Structure 1
Amino acid sequence: MKWKFQIGNGCAHNRQTSQARREPPALSTPLFEPAERPRIWALSISRLRDLFFDIAGEYVERADLRIVSYGFEDAVREIEAAGTGRPDVVIAGGSNGAYLKTRVTVPVVRINPTGFDVMHALARARRDGAKVALVTHGNTPDEVRRFIAAYALDVTFASYQSAQDAESVVLDLRDRGIDVVVGPGLVTDLAAHAGMGAVFLYSRASVRAAFDTALEVAQATRGETVRRQRLDNLLQHLRDGVVALDAQGRVEVMNQRLASVLGIDAAKAVGRVLLELAPDLAGSLPDADGDTFCTVRGASYAVHRGPLASSSAAAGTVLTFQESRAVERLDRTLRSRQRVQQFSARYRLDDIVGASESIERVRSLVRRYARSDATVLILGESGTGKEMVAQSMHQLSARRDFAFVAINCGAFPEALLESELFGYEEGAFTGARKGGKAGLIEVAHRGTLFLDEIGEMPLSLQSRLLRVLQEREVVRLGSTEPTRVDIRVVAATHRALTEGIEAGSFRADLYYRLNILSIALPPLRERPNDLLPLAAELLRQAAAREPRLAARLPDAAAAERVLGGLGASLRRYTWPGNVRELQNVIERIAVELADVEADTDADTDALHDGATVLTREMLHAVAPEIVEAHERTTKPATPTLRERSRHVEADQIRAALAAHDGDRDAVCNALGISKTTLWRKLNAAR
């Protein structure tokens, strides 16, 4: 039977008059937007509707109230058809409320008559007739029976379960001679239609109590909805797949990440058994709380199982699926970040001492190349400061905030160099670290990788390095998955790589990949005017590390005064070890000066007075190779024809260098020789 409120004859006529007299308060202008207030529907197909209208005005500012004249299945359809405008809570009475409770997904608040309602209704009924019946939905409450028995009232009890049952109960009471029926709206309407007296059981107080309860339920429901929406939003933004299961393994919630992995619809998965949706997971999920690995559609995942509620494992389970490759990438990133502090550039462009044209040209190239990400090849003899130039370039580049990773390619055996550069996976070889290790190429991600002595790199590793330069990706030892890297490569060598190409010890394709931008560093002997300022700066640095000299040589000017008498001797030496050799000599001088300071009387402190303490004899004591080399060069000797030819060629090259302001590229083009030949002929004439 379908029930729908219709304005008709009998008691319904009075409701029509009442409705015409009072418009539904929910249609009046609210003080707040309806979306901000809970939506409450009051449903009735009986005289209960009049009570709804009577008290609705009290709730217009607290709720978006709608009084609906539908009942039973018609009410169910109306609620389900409302879509996003569905009520937060429904108010109904008697059998209508009981029916809706089991058939709609929104909370239903039933109107319950109070003891005062029963007393008042029975008193009215006794005034209207001798025989009274109390009809309730469901069993008559025991407290009502005890109350009536205590006052020796002659009342017949009856109850009903459904609308059809209510009609049968009313007709049976009529046949038994009952004069007046007390009950809910459905029953009283049926009694009036059957020609019996009818007293409505509900009062404004009971309806008001139902409205108050509905407001509390609506607010609690909305709060829970907001919390669930936030939780769902959190789950949807997780990078890992997450599913919550009940005690029977049915899906309670699943984020889209996991649904995509399993190839299912997340919304349709709710309420279904996970292993039925994804049978491939059978046997691979952890049986207890913990971690394991499984394969889903060809991809490996780390799966963690934990309880849905802390109180009991039977409450359900949470499974998180994390892609193994993502775990590996995160591990590599963390390892790289942990090692970044070990790899930083110390030198800046201002640390390069010298005012010669060749050094100024180097500074100009460093500034220009720092703006590019192209690979740079730094050429120069050992000890000319190739790493200092590389660090200066890094400090001026956009990568200055990231790692500067340097490795000497000639300082490691081939196997060790390969693992240091490219890294390795766990178990890649005997003795491999548990968890593997990130190589220096990975550590340099977003920074600069400096490959010193690149000419010493074994051929087998040159091909692997070539792929890194071409593809910007690295494969660890024991792995098949490449890792993308964003690095700027700077290489350096003291060897002539073109000769290595001719000899077959260096790959031509790697050379062309490295030699995109080039900086040639001049040897120390070719910038004699820079020698004394450079020696003074090195002496100042050495004095700063020596407590006995720190106060006596506070700056480079003081250091230069001390070294001034040795300038000629220092300039005459060819410095085959370049700046590194000069630094070693200066360290010896600093130790000698510290001993002199200790032996000098405070009143005649030569260092404090700025006098020249260092003499040729002292230099011979600390650096005999410098004095002896000068003595050898001053002895007359008859050069061979080949030596004379070398000197002539060297003189021509030096003249060309002077004519081209030290520009070696221009000299090579003018003389028709390569840089390698240029260096070889200059070195051969020493």
Structure 2
Amino acid sequence: MSESSVHNRHDEFLRPQPRTIMTPLPVSGPRPRVWAIGISKLRDLYRDIAGEYDARADLRLISRGFEDAVNEIAAAGADRPDIVVAAGSNGTYLKARVSVPVVLVAPTGFDVMHALARARRDGASVALVTHGETPGELRRFVSAYGIDVVFASYESAQDAETCVLDLRDRGVETVVGPGLVTDLAVRAGMGAVFLYSRASVRTAFDNALDVAQATRREAVRRQRLDSVLQHLRDGVVALDAQGRVEAINQRLALTLGIDPATAAGKLLLDLAPDIANAVPDAEGESLETVRGVSYVVHRGPLADNGVTTGTVLTFQESRAVERLDRTLRSRQRAQQFAARYTLDDIVGECAAIERVRSLVRRYAQSDATVLIRGESGTGKEMVAQSIHQASARRDFPFVAINCGSFPEALLESELFGYEEGAFTGARRGGKAGLIEAAHRGTLFLDEIGEMPLPLQSRLLRVLQEREVVRLGSTEPTRIDVRIVAATHRGLTEGIDAGEFRADLYYRLNILNIALPPLRERQADILPLAAELLVQAARREPRLARQVRNGTDAANALHAVRVPLSEHSWPGNVRELQNVIERIAVELADPEAGELTHDVLRSIAPELFERTAREAASLTLRQRSRRVEADEIRAALDACNGDRDQVCEMLGISKTTLWRKLNDVAQAGGAKPRSRSLR
């Protein structure tokens, strides 16, 4: 290194260093408490500049040192300082013995050079005494300028006295050093120059305020973090690298039976020895039992600048995990498994349909299983969806499955789900079944009479235990699901034939709804046809201009109302919908004329063939009996099977009522339903 570069470096060392002015972040609360601890000359410097900090700090001057200063800080209790300013051996002593931050007064290069220059004027032989090792840069600077200075250092007050006496014996006339050293030098009859300046003390005070503000901000941050921890539903504890508690929330502290206020800084295993086996050895999760309660324990790292400095443990009750799992399962595929129909979609004003609506409203308030009976096409699924929509489960899935449309093996996996590897072609990760998908909602089992016998046994267990076991699994999954089943066939006949389990039947037939066929709802045929035509018009833009509402639809169907009304509709509403779709296509054609009998005959010949065949096969007396029987059945439905009320309504006796129904049965008509009479 050249001589000029050495001089440049040491000129920089000699020049007073400017302070970096940092605008502190605003911190609410009182002024920070700063204790300036020093004796002799340092105390006088404190006093000289203390007034400059009245607005920024609660500054207190303490004329004590070493153990006396430690005791005074300890005795202050809640009024103890936020930060301490001290110098030399006194400051080093305090840093090792008090829990509050200590900022040391450090002389600048300008302070050292200025003090050495004064000392050279007072004596030929000068010594620079510092606490601890003399900085190497200072030695190089003195050597570069050829200054004759003796360097010495001390560690304690006793070392300082020995050091000063030794320098006197070596012929040193003037000592440059901290207040303790200069006081000792004066008592030893030597010249003394105090090392510190007002600038170095101001720098220490400013640094102390910066540290105090940073500490307060950190305390506020920790307080907010602690508040977040306290509001967590799970138990959480943060540990340092040695396993000591840095933070713990109230929930975990109560679980472990420890005081969260005194837990910080203590080993977690000392506070709760029984937790040792519940802490995973590596990062990740494990299911553990703590004081008789099952927890999912998660272990994760706490990192500082990319270096792991501790661990965070989270304790989550397994019951809470199960509740969350049920909630998530209930929301999965919500759009796919949603009911579309409500009670308002059931069209009809006859007594039988009014009875169905009344039962739907009543049964929707219960969670009991419902069995819906009715011919194919009578609207069993629409009724099931209406029950779901009117129930408290309306916001959860409505899952419908046709038990007669799947092969037995496929139906089992669809209903109950399967684990990974349960069979060849099983989806990776497994699959939840439709019963699980209906959790907290409604499971609609259409054509329940077609379910294979082995699956009937498994379904019976679901109904009894409210849990489902996936294929390939041994662990049951708890479910909360309402079952609605439907059938077009007589289940009691299936029981007699050995095709349906009697115990399952009695589990299903708790609440029941019987849907009347369309031929028994003759007054509803035309309103239904009009509503179906309006729905078809919404899907066909060409027809939408002609059929805007029910009145337009009724007018369009007026010419064919008789064949529509007189047809027996063996396919029920489904058959009626098919015919209306054909009519909609015909009406949407701008080149087609009005809808007439001939047009209807051409697009739906079965309406006229069946009517003609039935008319030819029945005598006038039989037709009269059938009309009479239909009226009697309608009266029975309207009176909820009360025969006395029916007889009063029709003006006939009970004997006449039974005779007329039996006459129709003998003639090949529908059999009288003894269940309807009471």
The answer to whether the Cα contact below 8 Å between 1:419 and 1:439 also exists between their aligned partners in 2 is yes
The answer to whether the Cα contact below 8 Å between 1:335 and 1:438 also exists between their aligned partners in 2 is no
Instruction: Encode CA deviations 1:182-203: one digit per residue, 9 max, x unaligned.
Output: 3212223434555655543322
The answer to whether the Cα contact below 8 Å between 1:285 and 1:303 also exists between their aligned partners in 2 is no
Q: How big is the shift at 1:211?
A: 0.8
2:596 is matched with which residue? 614
Q: How big is the shift at 1:343?
A: 1.7
Q: How big is the shift at 1:94?
A: 0.4
Give the 3-state SS of the residue equivalent to 2:196 in structure 1: coil
2:17 is matched with which residue? none
| One-letter amino acid of the counterpart of residue 655, structure 1 | I
Rounded to whole Å, the distance in 1 between the matches of 2:569 and 2:670 is 12
For 1:81-230, list aligned pairs within 5 A.
87-102=81-96, 106-118=100-112, 121=115, 133-141=127-135, 156-176=150-170, 181-194=175-188, 198-227=192-221
1:435 pairs with one of 409, 429, 433: 429
| One-letter amino acid of the counterpart of residue 515, structure 2 | L
1:536–1:115 CA distance, 2 compared to 1 (3 A): closer
1:125–1:374 CA distance, 2 compared to 1 (3 A): same
Give the 3-state SS of the residue equivalent to 1:99 in structure 2: helix
The answer to whether the Cα contact below 8 Å between 1:660 and 1:667 also exists between their aligned partners in 2 is no
2:657 is matched with which residue? none
Q: How big is the shift at 1:446?
A: 3.5
1:362 is matched with which residue? 356
Rounded to whole Å, the distance in 2 between the matches of 1:470 and 1:622 is 51
The answer to whether the Cα contact below 8 Å between 2:329 and 2:439 also exists between their aligned partners in 1 is no
Q: How big is the shift at 1:40?
A: 3.4
Instruction: Encode CA deviations 1:637-659: one digit per residue, 9 max, x unaligned.
Output: 6899xx99xx79x9779637516
Give the 3-state SS of the residue equivalent to 1:340 in structure 2: coil
1:158–1:543 CA distance, 2 compared to 1 (3 A): closer
1:190–1:633 CA distance, 2 compared to 1 (3 A): same
The answer to whether the Cα contact below 8 Å between 1:375 and 1:517 also exists between their aligned partners in 2 is yes
Q: How big is the shift at 1:387?
A: 1.3
1:454 is matched with which residue? 448
For 1:402-421, list aligned pairs within 5 A.
402-421=396-415
Instruction: Encode CA deviations 1:456-489: one digit per residue, 9 max, x unaligned.
Output: 3344434444444455443333334444444343
1:471–1:622 CA distance, 2 compared to 1 (3 A): same
- TM-score under structure 1 length normalisation: 0.73
Q: How big is the shift at 1:207?
A: 0.9
For 1:437-586, list aligned pairs within 5 A.
437-500=431-494, 505-507=499-501, 510-586=504-580
Q: How big is the shift at 1:347?
A: 1.9
1:655 is matched with which residue? 632
Pair 1:589 & 2:583 matched: yes
For 1:163-312, list aligned pairs within 5 A.
163-176=157-170, 181-194=175-188, 198-227=192-221, 237=232, 268-269=266-267, 285=282, 308=303
1:487–1:51 CA distance, 2 compared to 1 (3 A): farther
The answer to whether the Cα contact below 8 Å between 2:639 and 2:645 also exists between their aligned partners in 1 is no
Pair 1:625 & 2:567 matched: no
1:232–1:350 CA distance, 2 compared to 1 (3 A): same
Q: How big is the shift at 1:561?
A: 2.6
Rounded to whole Å, the distance in 1 between the matches of 2:548 and 2:27 is 77
Q: How big is the shift at 1:434?
A: 0.8
| One-letter amino acid of the counterpart of residue 529, structure 1 | A
Give the 3-state SS of the residue equivalent to 1:519 in structure 2: strand
Rounded to whole Å, the distance in 1 between the matches of 2:317 and 2:57 is 51
The answer to whether the Cα contact below 8 Å between 2:53 and 2:59 also exists between their aligned partners in 1 is yes
Q: How big is the shift at 1:218?
A: 2.9
1:8 is matched with which residue? none
Q: How big is the shift at 1:118?
A: 3.9
Instruction: Encode CA deviations 1:562-611: one digit per residue, 9 max, x unaligned.
Output: 332333333333222211122122233334555xx4544xxxxx43xxxx
The answer to whether the Cα contact below 8 Å between 2:243 and 2:310 also exists between their aligned partners in 1 is no
1:321–1:127 CA distance, 2 compared to 1 (3 A): closer
Rounded to whole Å, the distance in 2 between the matches of 1:34 and 1:66 is 21
The answer to whether the Cα contact below 8 Å between 1:332 and 1:438 also exists between their aligned partners in 2 is no
Aligned residues, how many?
A: 619
| One-letter amino acid of the counterpart of residue 614, structure 1 | T
Give the 3-state SS of the residue equivalent to 1:479 in structure 2: coil
CA RMSD of aligned residues (A): 5.0
The answer to whether the Cα contact below 8 Å between 1:43 and 1:71 also exists between their aligned partners in 2 is yes
For 1:19-58, list aligned pairs within 5 A.
35-44=29-38, 46-58=40-52
Tell which deviates more after alignment, 168-177 or 401-410: 168-177
Tell which deviates more after alignment, 92-101 or 46-55: 46-55
The answer to whether the Cα contact below 8 Å between 1:660 and 1:666 also exists between their aligned partners in 2 is no
Rounded to whole Å, the distance in 1 between the matches of 2:540 and 2:149 is 114
Q: How big is the shift at 1:168?
A: 1.3
Instruction: Encode CA deviations 1:401-451: one digit per residue, 9 max, x unaligned.
Output: 332221122222333222222222222222211111122222223433222
Rounded to whole Å, the distance in 1 between the matches of 2:547 and 2:153 is 111
The answer to whether the Cα contact below 8 Å between 1:45 and 1:69 also exists between their aligned partners in 2 is yes
Rounded to whole Å, the distance in 1 between the matches of 2:126 and 2:305 is 56
For structure 1, the residue ranges without an aligned partner over 5 or more in a row are 1-31, 287-291, 601-605, 608-612, 672-676
Give the 3-state SS of the residue equivalent to 1:384 in structure 2: coil
1:500–1:100 CA distance, 2 compared to 1 (3 A): farther
| One-letter amino acid of the counterpart of residue 596, structure 2 | L
Instruction: Encode CA deviations 1:517-566: one digit per residue, 9 max, x unaligned.
Output: 43332221222111111112223333443455343333332332333233
- TM-score under structure 2 length normalisation: 0.74
| One-letter amino acid of the counterpart of residue 607, structure 2 | I
The answer to whether the Cα contact below 8 Å between 1:262 and 1:296 also exists between their aligned partners in 2 is no
1:346–1:152 CA distance, 2 compared to 1 (3 A): closer
| One-letter amino acid of the counterpart of residue 634, structure 1 | A
Q: How big is the shift at 1:352?
A: 1.7
1:63 is matched with which residue? 57
1:333–1:369 CA distance, 2 compared to 1 (3 A): closer
Pair 1:394 & 2:388 matched: yes
Rounded to whole Å, the distance in 1 between the matches of 2:486 and 2:644 is 22
1:245–1:91 CA distance, 2 compared to 1 (3 A): closer
2:12 is matched with which residue? none
Rounded to whole Å, the distance in 2 between the matches of 1:281 and 1:489 is 43
Tell which deviates more after alignment, 128-137 or 582-591: 128-137
Tell which deviates more after alignment, 578-587 or 561-570: 561-570
Instruction: Encode CA deviations 1:370-392: one digit per residue, 9 max, x unaligned.
Output: 44444433332221112112223
The answer to whether the Cα contact below 8 Å between 1:252 and 1:271 also exists between their aligned partners in 2 is no
The answer to whether the Cα contact below 8 Å between 1:448 and 1:488 also exists between their aligned partners in 2 is yes
1:320–1:635 CA distance, 2 compared to 1 (3 A): same
Q: How big is the shift at 1:160?
A: 0.9
2:5 is matched with which residue? none
Q: How big is the shift at 1:111?
A: 0.8
1:342 is matched with which residue? 336
Rounded to whole Å, the distance in 2 between the matches of 1:625 and 1:100 is 107
Give the 3-state SS of the residue equivalent to 1:339 in structure 2: coil
